[in-house]
Amino acid sequence: AQKVTQAQTEISVVEKEDVTLDCVYETRDTTYYLFWYKQPPSGELVFLIRRNSFDEQNEISGRYSWNFQKSTSSFNFTITASQVVDSAVYFCALSDRSNTGNQFYFGTGTSLTVIP
């Protein structure tokens, strides 16, 4: 069965600190895709990154970076030099081919508060 676990429910950091959001996933499929989304108070889920299971290279985009490790089934997200605008709920999600409709399985989210 597919499952995504985000063990950190809430995190608070002071502005300019680095913060890492953890994501652990479960799937029996060898081909799968991992995603991170940001949900500000407006409610819209904003796409941040998509990673397929065959590409374990870490990725950096500005202050954001992602560490994908198949050996530990983790796909962690780091924000460097956090800013107040980073305050939001962040969701990790998994999609594989073993389900109809290619549904996304979301974790329960991590609420990040950046204190000025």
Partner 1 sequence: ETGVTQSPTHLIKTRGQQVTLRCSSQSGHNTVSWYQQALGQGPQFIFQYYREEENGRGNFPPRFSGLQFPNYSSELNVNALELDDSALYLCASRLGGLGTGELFFGEGSRLTVL
Three-class SS state of 24? strand
Q: How far is the CB of 9 from partner 1 (least distance, A)?
A: 9
Q: In this complex, which beta carbon is closest to partner 1, that of residue 37 or of residue 86? A: 37
- Is residue 63 within 8 A of residue 79, CB to CB? The reply is yes
Distance CA 103, CA 112 (A): 26
- Is residue 104 within 8 A of residue 35, CB to CB? The reply is yes
Q: How far is the CB of 4 from partner 1 (least distance, A)?
A: 8
Whole-number Cα distances in Å, 74 to 30, 37, 55, 69, 87 = 15, 16, 13, 5, 22
Q: In this complex, which beta carbon is closest to partner 1, that of residue 13 or of residue 45? A: 45
Q: In this complex, which beta carbon is closest to partner 1, that of residue 28 or of residue 116? A: 28
Q: In this complex, which beta carbon is closest to partner 1, that of residue 77 or of residue 91? A: 91
Q: How far is the CB of 24 from partner 1 (least distance, A)?
A: 14
Q: Please report, as ranges, the residues that interact with partner 1 according to CB under 8 A.
A: 4, 32-33, 35, 37, 42-47, 50, 52, 91, 93, 95-97, 99-109
